[in-house]
Chain A
């Protein structure tokens, strides 16, 4: 786990809110404040984890606030020198990647000719995918072409990966080339 140096004081300071903080200290809290007084402060008891934005190539830092297995808030990471706590509209809404009702939560399978998805378990899915991969590879594998060792299959393609982590792209490239796949492409091309 990362050691975050986010003591409240530093956090406030880095948010540039020193003036307001001092004012509060001068003033004390006003019990009679006239709105939402029963609401608990939104990020009072959250766990804060730094991440990097998943969208463009700027690489802004974002803090993810979680509480009871829910993402309650996301905001710019004031410690990250690239964005210094600032974000654009996409980075600001990172939270909804978790909260969106449209997130896929189960593996889905579509049989040939079918007009619907079926829920399947992970084991069956990966076993079947491995089998399909092997069948196609075995039937199409070329060891030698014009007298040259080529060890390839041109019947399987792998696309995508620009949103994956480096470690993931590394394993993906290694696995696909390891299987002999030549149709290996991702979004850098498009």
Chain B
């Protein structure tokens, strides 16, 4: 989230798309209800009418997988009707930048496409620069090669009629959404876009998010209270676990993992040169990287050995979830750790992921429960135990309140959880388990002369004596030290690239500025202004609550409006003041060089309407899902041309002849993710005890299905049984004059726990987004029949 939960109350309009917060982030509605009481509007865009839609002022249906047409049409509407915040767009985005010849877009393809590689040559998408490397601009935005004009042209194809013919949205509803949300382009108004996995779990997931951001920039909604682009995270600490580098491609703090495939990455020097932009805040990257290496390798990290850079593994491919399971399926993996995760329910094409686990020699599961994953070898999973040779270690883990530590919510607030009670039975905190395992491994490797063992032996591991680690030492290592004085760092601004500082995660540096002062433990809930609660816990980075808040002020440093003020330049004090920590150099005057660079993380200090960094194009463009019942109306490119396709048995594709129905998955309020936490509890199992599939009355009638009937849903991957939930909340879509049916189902169920049911993900495909490889759970083809 660029903003935060409490800030939702300041919005004039919340566009909720690809999300159902009333069910999946219910407390957000405490603040949205306040927004409504203040006159704000709520717009819900969803394939079905949800509990969120019930609370909305405007509801619009869209067929799964058509966010880009939906928002692209809004961009077109805002531009055509002159509803954009022009000065904001000119000053704070790259709208005025001139794009070099070589960039082009024809029939769904951007220039530089290589069909055989299914990849683009991004050097074709370049901004024109002057001799000293500055972008060439046209602030009138009239130049036909300006980003603005190219964008305007791109989305002029997204007219209301074409858009609604693709999305299946009734035209009146669509126009109501356009009108309601685009009204926030006015100075003095702000609108927020709230999204979740309904947005990201598509082959165009990254571009879905991108197009939301483009709309928000055009309306001048980023950096303002009640504005922003707000990803609602589904797990309590998926923000933190991502910040701390539990994805293959990122070390901590969004520093890229070194790659064997990039010649520059052979040395630390080359890596830093390659990864560090010349301008913008990321120009400080070497300080973050070297400080991280100091935290990981301690005294073994020296200037002479590139601070231990060579100890880091260098991968040569994409190791993300789908590829990981594909490798496992092919027998390429031997062992796996599962820390509180349940891919046999939560993974795409879950039947195949379950099969893949049987190819492991050993698996360690750390969990509060026996999950479908740790029990994948049982007959209940449809397995024959005698044929599965995987050794399984299941370790009982402590619940969140049986241990202490911090977690980071969607607002990037790092809040502390204290220990309320000893762990149940012999359960132990994950921290202790990881620590003791590390100590045991250290012991096994001790004194090994092998060079292969050096990287691990040199890993610095000092968290007190004994089996139980001192969590405070871990926290302080994350914050980082001035290694000369041994003092804790007060801010990441003090980090150095010469090995004299350490920090395990630069973006968190400063949360523990002095001995005994872990700011995530702060419980001062006095409102410090505009509900930013600056003394409650700690928000990364630097305790900022609204990111890009420099953009809440005009180029001269004064708030665009009194109503939406966050920070402003105080000429007398010669600094930025306000009710939040400035997301800007606090003493840089608006008139100084860079004084209007509201997006300081980016190279030129501006937000990118034209983003030449993504794999699938500088502008979001619509492509149909991997499995779709209709042809792409916008171009002859049916599927995202940059999406990687895994052929064969691991990812069977279904056609519309056999599987004419669009399927999607979602969650219900009463269960959480794969259900292991909630289906193992009686009260929540009582509230939502059955696997169901929602379908429209029209569709049910066509198939002779009555409410509560037992039905079978099938896809190219498998089939599941469930109850039919026939509802008025799903309606068939009119897609280009053709009736298209969609059904939806929760993905929480499995064969363990109190509430059991078939696993929806046995139906979903192993195909991912072109940038992130996040699987396309949200739109696939299936068919439905009565079970009897």
Contact = CB atoms under 8 A, between A and B. Distances in A.
Task: Decide if A and B touch, CB cutoff 8 A.
Answer: yes
Contacts of A45: none
A177 B327 CA distance: 19
A56 B343 CA distance: 18
A129 B669 CA distance: 37
B236 interface: yes
Interface stretch (B283-291, B419-427, B780-788): B419-427
Interface stretch (B104-112, B615-623, B767-775): B767-775
Interface in A162-190: 162-190
Interface in B288-345: 296, 310-316, 319-321, 324, 327-328, 332-341, 343
B410 A190 contact: no
Interface stretch (A18-26, A36-44, A58-66): A58-66
B269 to A, nearest CB: 14
A183 B452 contact: no
Given A49-B401, A81-B6, A115-B378, A165 B673 contact: no
Given A102-B680, A107-B396, A158-B336, A181 B246 contact: no
A59 B400 CA distance: 12
Interface in B518-556: 521, 523, 525, 527, 531, 533, 536
B392 A110 contact: yes
Contact of A154 (B332, B390, B391): B332
A47 B341 CA distance: 31
B400 A51 contact: yes
Contacts of B316: 145, 150
A70 to B, nearest CB: 8
A126 B337 CA distance: 12
A165 B315 contact: no
Interface stretch (B149-157, B470-478, B696-704): B470-478
A134 B648 CA distance: 33
B10 to A, nearest CB: 14
A131 B444 contact: yes
Contacts of A4: 523
A179 B441 contact: yes
A24 B176 CA distance: 51
A57 B319 contact: no
Contacts of A158: 246, 336-337, 339
B324 A129 contact: no
A98 B405 contact: no
B367 interface: yes
Which of B364, B469, B775 has the most A CB atoms < 10 Å from its CB?
B364
Given A56-B672, A89-B670, A100-B680, A187 B341 contact: yes
Interface in B662-686: 669-673, 677-678, 680-684
Contact of A182 (B5, B315, B427): B315
Interface in A83-100: 83-84, 86-91, 93-94, 96-98, 100
A59 B193 CA distance: 19
A103 interface: yes
B716 to A, nearest CB: 20
Contacts of A5: 523
Interface string B417-445: 11111101111111101111110110011
A82 B409 CA distance: 10
A178 B280 CA distance: 31
A190 B348 CA distance: 8
Contacts of B399: 54, 97-98, 103
Contacts of A7: none
B385 A114 contact: yes
Interface string A100-134: 10111111111111110100001001111111111
Contact of B478 (A106, A166, A184): A166
Which of B241, B245, B296 has the most A CB atoms < 10 Å from its CB?
B241
B385 to A, nearest CB: 4
A169 to B, nearest CB: 4
Interface in B204-242: 232-242
Contacts of B242: 186, 188
Report the interface size class on chain B.
35 or more
B504 interface: yes
A71 interface: yes
Interface string B69-107: 000000000000000000000000000000000000000
Contacts of B248: 182-185
A2 interface: yes
B413 interface: yes
Contact of B313 (A64, A83, A160, A180): A180
B440 A58 contact: no
Contact of B338 (A71, A102, A160, A180): A160
Contacts of A133: 335, 437, 441
A26 to B, nearest CB: 30
Contact of A168 (B390, B429, B682): B429
Contacts of B687: 89
B361 interface: yes
B435 A164 contact: no
B388 interface: yes
Contacts of A129: 362, 364, 393, 437
Interface residues of A, number: 118
A187 B313 contact: no
B252 interface: yes
Contacts of A160: 337-341, 366
A12 interface: no
Interface string B742-773: 00000000000110000000000000000011
A127 B395 CA distance: 13
Which of B385, B420, B774 has the most A CB atoms < 10 Å from its CB?
B420
A47 B50 CA distance: 39
Contact of A190 (B30, B321, B669): B321
A159 B478 contact: no
B437 A57 contact: no
Interface string B642-674: 000000000000000000000000000111110
A101 B586 CA distance: 54
A31 interface: no
A5 to B, nearest CB: 7
A5 B411 CA distance: 25
Which of A112, A134, A190 has the most B CB atoms < 10 Å from its CB?
A190
B609 to A, nearest CB: 26
A55 interface: yes
Nearest to A130: B440
B320 A148 contact: no
A50 B418 contact: yes
B506 to A, nearest CB: 13
A159 B246 CA distance: 8
A2 B406 CA distance: 13
B408 interface: yes
A73 B137 CA distance: 62
Which of A2, A110, A138 has the most B CB atoms < 10 Å from its CB?
A110
A189 B260 contact: no
A151 interface: yes
Interface in B477-522: 477-478, 504-505, 508, 521
Nearest to A180: B313
Interface of A: 1-2, 4-5, 47, 49-62, 64, 66, 69-71, 79-84, 86-91, 93-94, 96-98, 100, 102-115, 117, 122, 125-134, 136, 138, 140-141, 143, 145-146, 148-190
21 contacts: A71-B421, A79-B525, A82-B409, A90-B669, A98-B402, A104-B394, A105-B424, A133-B335, A150-B315, A155-B334, A162-B235, A162-B238, A163-B237, A163-B340, A165-B240, A166-B240, A171-B438, A175-B434, A183-B333, A184-B245, A187-B346
